[in-house]
């Protein structure tokens, strides 16, 4: 998408070269592409419009055309503006000066509140705190039980008084017990509710008025569409929330709701849920989110992941080879094996910059692709790997047989290797990183 | 900056006004159907999650219809729009089968409303005098089995469960056996929520489906995708991947439409994948499941 977006904008601006002047109309045209990208990422229609207005002012001020790559610069401005809107830096949950710190979670049905309660408890435990949880959803079947199970897993007490006591009473008891049992963080799990349900919203206001949470977090499903603004606005108006938790971001949602919520409430997104397990909670990084909304791939995460998995010595050797262009199939193979260590193919691909996820959908995305490629490489002789040019037709047939694949697949792999080599030569060009990301993927 | 926020807030307040009224207002401002008017409709559709591409398609269709009918009268616009959009969704009878039991598999991403919808459907069938059996094939999420058990009790349906953490296909195997032994009319299988991007979990789902097929030719008779009505463009991806993994979906249950979300993404799904909507969820109560009615749905979109 990022590639697509940059490409589209390059196309528009290219025509203007030589005209020497960037008109408002030309900028408008490229901003229409940005707007479309935002809408496809679920950024609210009106939020997108306001955002585009801001970017337009900036772009006009910067004289885009004088730059060598105006399309990229344009995306750069958009990206930067997104980051600044998103809040520049990660914001943590503040610990109250006098304990206990009371955190209340609220949100629509099924957004991930109960899971987030468990995840936050896990997070606080890790930081040396002693949390206690309040099961204040007395409505949904087995909601209390669900939190109790999580509490058992974490070995953290859960206050559950049965369905006959009011959520308010349950929250009060939890806060009291925290004082008596030396628990320094209280997390209140409330029932899912619609922002238009007056009675249920009143219940939350009541809890807020009685226990005065230090932190009220709105839990929002990361896949939410245009409605995110209505939800965020209503919860913020009623409860004056302190921030949000954006859940289910382990999938392929672009998460434009994050931008909408920021715009409307001006409150930070504090955490991102990235899985069902209790450790699948990450601190929110505005920069990464901005990239994701634009479809730029999570470059930072990818690099971090790579750093953790790839051994430094190995990486240095690889780099030298890349420079000297002596990168052969032997290196390709060890690189694939490194890739295998970095995590699931699926996750990696999602983080890759320049990967058009829509195009990926129809492709063979399964983890076995890596295994098959490894099989092909293993079926080559050492000599063949060192000097891939010798791999002629009959060798290809032999390799295919030996690896249980087809000649086509062998060809495909060799083609990828060739493309990669070409890419290496251009590594110093701007934008090469994104393209490399694309070409390196085994199923492209 | 504050000015911007205020302007935005004011703008959003208007979003919540009836769409029909907005179209009526738009219509009132134009004396013929022209591009400006179409653009206003476009912006309204975009705000119900219909999506850019599908919105443009609907607008094109609308333009064509206006030409075909030789009308430039804005008063006809709502009717044309209703026709155009209802056509995309079509009407979808449940797949016919006179086999017993009828096996219905409920799938979808996390928290979309599968368990609740399974419970409501069970109650609906039970209300028709059918013998219903519910299988607890979500053995993963904390207290998922207990939650479904409450629904089974409410619906007065039989309930087949294993322990937390056991193989969901084994539960389904038992449920199929029990259904035959007890002469059940309907088997409803509640599965665990899973993001469509998780290959191994999608494999698990395929296995569940195969298990029903091995027990009974033609099963499952329905594979229902439960979509959260507040979901944006990602729902298209969900529908596509679940459908591909399971060899097609027989329908969609669109939940949580009792809020302010309109669920416009089902038009994109209709256009691209042709998967019909079967039910809509309009609340957390046992009665809050309605059979889908395309024209009514379109009307609700604009009201
Ligand atoms: N993949 C994924 N699933 C999540 C995440 N957070 C929560 N879930 C799942 O989403 C579903 C709903 O989560 P809950 O925590 O029960 O949501 P809730 O807001 O408490 O729901 P109600 O109490 O019914 O309103 C469960 O299946 C969770 O496992 C996440 O970050 N990623
Ligand atoms: N307002 C409203 N809430 C609904 C509707 N359908 C389901 N819910 C609520 O949404 C939340 C999630 O519903 P579940 O049925 O647990 O969802 P699920 O898909 O089974 O969730 P997992 O099994 O965790 O993936 C619950 O709080 C339900 O009460 C609906 O139509 N309207
Ligand atoms: Mg809950
Ligand atoms: Mg469930």
Selecting from A44, A251, A264 the residue whose C-beta is nearest the C-beta of B195 gives A251
Selecting from A39, A196, A257 the residue whose C-beta is nearest the C-beta of B260 gives A196
Strand partners, B224: B106, B251
- B111 and A47 within 8 Å at the Cβ level: the answer is no
How buried is residue B24: exposed, middle or buried, by Cβ count under 10 Å (0-12/13-18/19+)? middle
Q: Above 80 in pLDDT, residue B27?
A: no
More confident residue, A263 or A207: A207
Percent of chain B at pLDDT > 70 equals 88
SS3 of A214, please?
Answer: coil
More confident residue, B81 or B278: B278
Band (A154; pLDDT cuts 50, 70, 90)? very high
Domains of chain A as residue ranges with CATH = 3-86 (1.20.120.140), 101-294 (3.40.50.300), 302-439 (1.10.260.30)
Alpha carbon distances (Å) from A81 to A77, A85, B207: 6, 6, 46
For residue A409, report the phi and psi dihedrals to the nearest 5 degrees: -65, -35
The whole-number average pLDDT for the span B177-201 is: 97
Lowest mean pLDDT among A56-60, B43-47, B72-76, B283-287: B72-76
Strand partners, A97: none
- A146 and B109 within 8 Å at the Cβ level: the answer is no
* Residue B22, ligand 2, Cβ within 6 A: no
- A145 and B146 within 8 Å at the Cβ level: the answer is yes
Domains of chain B as residue ranges with CATH = 2-89 (1.20.120.140), 102-293 (3.40.50.300)
- Mean model confidence pLDDT for chain A: 80
Q: How many residues does chain A have?
A: 444
Please tell me the distance between residue B71's alpha carbon and the centre of ligand 2 in angstroms: 45
Please tell me the distance between residue A111's alpha carbon and the centre of ligand 3 in angstroms: 8
pLDDT at position A431 is 44
Closest-lying ligand 2 atom to the alpha carbon of residue B190: 20
Query: What is d(CA B211, CA B290) in angstroms, rounded to the nearest whole number?
Result: 30
Place of tokens 């035959």: B180
* Range with top average pLDDT, A77-91, B39-53, B62-76, B151-165: B151-165
pLDDT at position A437 is 41
Query: What is d(CA A301, CA A351) in angstroms, rounded to the nearest whole number?
Result: 7
Q: Above 50 in pLDDT, residue B10?
A: no
- B197 and A350 within 8 Å at the Cβ level: the answer is yes
How buried is residue B47: exposed, middle or buried, by Cβ count under 10 Å (0-12/13-18/19+)? buried
Query: What is d(CA A388, CA B154) in angstroms, rounded to the nearest whole number?
Result: 67
A14-48 residue pLDDT tens: 554 444 445 677 678 778 878 888 899 999 999 99
CA-wise closest residue to B280 among B266, B272, A283: B266
Band (A307; pLDDT cuts 50, 70, 90)? very low
Chain A contact present for B96, CB below 8 A:
no
pLDDT at position A350 is 52
* Per-position DSSP letters for A47-96, written without gaps between them: HHHHHHHHHHHHHHHHTGGGSS-HHHHHHHHHHHHHHHHHTSS--PPPPP
Q: Nearest residue CA, atom 7 of ligand 1?
A: A112
pLDDT at position A70 is 60
Judge contact between A372 and A366, C-beta under 8 A.
no
Q: How far is CA B8 from the centre of its chain?
A: 31
pLDDT at position A10 is 55
Band (B14; pLDDT cuts 50, 70, 90)? very low
Chain A contact probe: residue of B2, B114, B142, B154 with most A CBs at under 10 A: B142
Helix axes A257-265, A45-62, angle to 10 degrees: 80
* Residue B191, ligand 2, Cβ within 6 A: no
Query: What is d(CA B254, CA B92) in angstroms, rounded to the nearest whole number?
Result: 14
More confident residue, A318 or B181: B181
pLDDT at position B86 is 87
pLDDT at position A442 is 37
- B111 and A350 within 8 Å at the Cβ level: the answer is no
Chain B contact probe: residue of A33, A50, A107, A141 with most B CBs at under 10 A: A141
| ipTM of the complex in this document | 0.91
pLDDT at position A90 is 81
* Residue A109, ligand 2, Cβ within 6 A: yes
Chain B contact present for A226, CB below 8 A:
yes
A109 contacts in B (CB within 8 Å)? Answer: 111, 113, 256, 284
pLDDT at position A362 is 43
* Residue B228, ligand 2, Cβ within 6 A: no
Question: Could you say which residues from 161 to 190 on chain B have a Cβ atom under 8 Å away from some Cβ of chain A?
Answer: none
Residue B234: CB atoms within 10 A of its CB come to 28
Selecting from A109, A361, A365 the residue whose C-beta is nearest the C-beta of B256 gives A109
A231 contacts in B (CB within 8 Å)? Answer: 230, 259-260
Please choose from B109, B201, B255 the residue to mutate so as to test ligand 2's pocket, defined by most ligand atoms within 8 A of CB: B255
Query: What is d(CA A5, CA A70) in angstroms, rounded to the nearest whole number?
Result: 12
pLDDT at position A48 is 94
Query: What is d(CA B162, CA B2) in angstroms, rounded to the nearest whole number?
Result: 56
Alpha carbon distances (Å) from A179 to A101, A130, A211: 11, 11, 13
Provide long-range contacts, Cβ within 8 A and 24+ apart, for B61-67: B62/B38, B63/B33, B63/B38, B66/B33
Q: Above 90 in pLDDT, residue B115?
A: yes
Q: Above 70 in pLDDT, residue A353?
A: no
Band (B96; pLDDT cuts 50, 70, 90)? confident
A47 contacts in B (CB within 8 Å)? Answer: 8
* Range with top average pLDDT, A249-258, A261-270, B124-133: B124-133
CA-wise closest residue to A207 among A105, A62, A78, A334: A105
Cα atoms in the Cβ-side hemisphere of radius 13 Å centred on A9: 27
The whole-number average pLDDT for the span A406-426 is: 78
Q: What is residue B207's DSSP assignment? A: H
- A109 and B112 within 8 Å at the Cβ level: the answer is no
Q: Above 60 in pLDDT, residue B25?
A: yes
Band (A414; pLDDT cuts 50, 70, 90)? confident
A210-245 residue pLDDT tens: 999 999 999 999 999 999 999 999 999 999 999 999
Judge contact between A193 and A136, C-beta under 8 A.
no
Helix (H) or strand (E) holding B159: strand B158-160
Q: Nearest residue CA, atom 21 of ligand 1?
A: A110
Q: Nearest residue CA, atom 17 of ligand 2?
A: B113
The whole-number average pLDDT for the span A130-136 is: 98
Band (A58; pLDDT cuts 50, 70, 90)? confident
What are B191's two structure tokens? 């599965």
- A45 and B5 within 8 Å at the Cβ level: the answer is no
- B261 and A350 within 8 Å at the Cβ level: the answer is no
The whole-number average pLDDT for the span B174-194 is: 98
Please tell me the distance between residue A410's alpha carbon and the centre of ligand 2 in angstroms: 48
Chain A contact present for B109, CB below 8 A:
yes
A156-167 residue pLDDT tens: 999 999 778 999
- B8 and A264 within 8 Å at the Cβ level: the answer is yes
- B241 and A256 within 8 Å at the Cβ level: the answer is no
In chain A, whose CA is at the least distance from the CA of B148?
A: A141
Lowest mean pLDDT among A19-33, A211-225, A357-371, B149-163: A357-371
* Residue B110, ligand 2, Cβ within 6 A: yes
Query: What is d(CA A60, CA A23) in angstroms, rounded to the nearest whole number?
Result: 8
Judge contact between A156 and A187, C-beta under 8 A.
no
Q: Above 70 in pLDDT, residue A71?
A: no
The whole-number average pLDDT for the span A171-197 is: 97
Chain B contact probe: residue of A137, A198, A251, A262 with most B CBs at under 10 A: A251
Lowest mean pLDDT among A108-117, A315-324, B52-61, B269-278: A315-324
Q: How far is CA B157 from the centre of its chain?
A: 23
Query: What is d(CA B87, CA A151) in angstroms, rounded to the nearest whole number?
Result: 50
Burial track A400-419 (b if 16+ CB lie within 10 A, e otherwise): beebebeeebbebbbebbeb
* Range with top average pLDDT, A14-23, A319-328, A344-353, B244-253: B244-253
Chain B contact probe: residue of A50, A53, A119, A226 with most B CBs at under 10 A: A226
Alpha carbon distances (Å) from A339 to A52, A297, A375, A432, B280: 38, 17, 15, 20, 44
- B8 and A46 within 8 Å at the Cβ level: the answer is yes
pLDDT at position A434 is 42
Q: Above 60 in pLDDT, residue A64?
A: no
The whole-number average pLDDT for the span B81-108 is: 87
- B151 and A365 within 8 Å at the Cβ level: the answer is no
How buried is residue A88: exposed, middle or buried, by Cβ count under 10 Å (0-12/13-18/19+)? exposed
Selecting from A108, A110, A146 the residue whose C-beta is nearest the C-beta of B143 gives A146
- Mean model confidence pLDDT for chain B: 88
Chain B contact present for A361, CB below 8 A:
yes
Percent of chain A at pLDDT > 90 equals 44
Rg from Cα positions in chain A = 26
Selecting from B5, B16, B43 the residue whose C-beta is nearest the C-beta of A230 gives B16
Please tell me the distance between residue A43's alpha carbon and the centre of ligand 3 in angstroms: 26
Chain B contact present for A263, CB below 8 A:
yes
Judge contact between A310 and A338, C-beta under 8 A.
yes
Q: Which ligand is nearest to the CA of B226?
A: 2
- Strand duo A185-190 + A158-159: pairing: unpaired
B261-287 residue pLDDT tens: 999 999 999 999 999 999 999 999 999
């Amino acid at each position: 998408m990022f590639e697509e977006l940059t490409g589209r904008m390059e196309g528009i601006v290219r025509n203007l070269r030589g005209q020497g002047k960037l008109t408002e109309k030309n900028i408008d045209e490229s901003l229409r592409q940005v707007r479309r990208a935002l809408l496809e990422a679920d950024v609210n229609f009106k939020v997108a419009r306001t955002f585009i207005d801001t970017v337009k002012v900036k772009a006009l001020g910067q004289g885009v055309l004088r730059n060598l790559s105006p399309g990229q610069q344009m995306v750069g401005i958009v990206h930067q503006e997104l980051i600044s809107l998103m809040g520049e830096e990660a914001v943590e949950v503040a610990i109250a000066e006098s304990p206990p710190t009371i955190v209340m979670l609220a949100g629509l049905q099924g957004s991930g509140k109960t899971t987030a309660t468990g995840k936050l408890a896990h997070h606080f435990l890790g930081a040396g705190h002693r949390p206690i949880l309040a099961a204040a959803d007395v409505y949904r079947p087995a909601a209390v039980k669900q939190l109790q199970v999580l509490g058992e897993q974490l070995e953290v007490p859960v206050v559950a008084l049965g369905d006959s006591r009011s959520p308010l009473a349950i929250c009060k008891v939890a806060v009291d017990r925290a004082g008596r049992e030396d628990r320094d963080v209280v997390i209140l799990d409330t029932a899912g509710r619609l922002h238009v349900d007056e009675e249920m919203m009143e219940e939350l206001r009541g809890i807020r008025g009685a226990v005065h949470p230090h932190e009220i977090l709105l839990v929002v499903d990361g896949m939410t569409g245009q409605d995110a603004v209505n939800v965020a606005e209503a919860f913020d108006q009623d409860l004056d929330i302190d921030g949000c938790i954006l859940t289910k971001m382990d999938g392929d949602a672009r998460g434009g709701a994050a931008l909408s919520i920021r715009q409307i409430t001006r409150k930070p997104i504090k955490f991102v849920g990235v899985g069902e397990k209790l450790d699948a909670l990450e601190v929110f990084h505005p920069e990464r989110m901005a990239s994701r909304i634009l479809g730029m791939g999570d470059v930072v995460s990818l690099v971090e992941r790579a750093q953790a998995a790839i051994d430094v010595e190995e990486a240095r050797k690889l780099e030298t080879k890349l420079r000297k262009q002596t990168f052969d199939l032997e290196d390709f193979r060890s690189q694939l094996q490194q890739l295998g260590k970095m995590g699931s193919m699926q996750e990696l691909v999602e983080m890759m910059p320049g990967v058009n996820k829509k195009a990926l959908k129809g492709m063979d995305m399964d983890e076995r692709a890596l295994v098959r490629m490894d099989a092909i490489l293993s079926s080559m002789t050492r000599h063949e790997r060192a000097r891939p040019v010798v791999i002629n037709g009959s060798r290809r047939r032999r390799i295919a047989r030996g690896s249980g694949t087809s000649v086509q697949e062998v060809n495909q792999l060799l083609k990828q290797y060739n493309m990669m080599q070409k890419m290496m030569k251009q590594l110093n060009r701007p934008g090469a990183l994104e393209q490399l990301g694309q070409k390196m993927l085994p199923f492209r | 900056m504050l000015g911007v926020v205020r302007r935005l807030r004011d703008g959003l307040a208007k979003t919540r006004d009836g769409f029909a009224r907005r179209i009526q207002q738009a219509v009132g401002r134009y004396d013929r159907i022209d591009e400006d008017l179409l653009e206003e409709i476009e912006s309204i559709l975009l705000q119900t999650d219909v999506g850019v591409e599908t919105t443009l398609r609907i607008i094109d269709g609308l333009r064509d219809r206006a030409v075909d009918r030789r009308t430039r009268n804005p008063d006809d616009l709502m009717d044309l729009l209703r026709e155009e959009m209802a056509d995309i969704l079509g009407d979808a009878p449940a797949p016919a089968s006179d086999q017993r039991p009828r096996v219905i598999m409920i799938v979808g991403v996390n928290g979309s409303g599968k368990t609740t919808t399974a419970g409501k459907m069970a109650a609906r069938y039970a209300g028709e005098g059918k013998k219903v059996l519910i299988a607890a094939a979500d053995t993963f999420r904390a207290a998922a089995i207990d939650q479904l058990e409450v629904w089974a009790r409410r619906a007065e349906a039989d309930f087949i469960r294993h322990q937390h953490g056991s193989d969901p296909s084994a539960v389904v195997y038992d449920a199929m056996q029990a259904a035959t032994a007890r002469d059940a009319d309907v088997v409803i299988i509640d599965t665990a929520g899973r993001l469509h991007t998780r290959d191994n979990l999608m494999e698990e789902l395929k296995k569940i489906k195969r298990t029903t097929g091995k027990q009974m030719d033609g099963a499952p008779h329905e594979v229902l995708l439960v979509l959260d009505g507040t979901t944006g463009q990602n729902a298209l991806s969900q529908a596509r991947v679940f459908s591909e993994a399971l060899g097609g979906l027989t329908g969609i249950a669109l939940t949580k439409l009792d809020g302010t979300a309109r669920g416009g993404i089902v038009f994109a799904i209709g256009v691209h994948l042709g998967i019909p909507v079967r039910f809509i969820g309009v609340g957390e109560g046992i009665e809050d499941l309605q059979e889908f009615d395309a024209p009514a749905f379109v009307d609700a979109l604009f009201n």
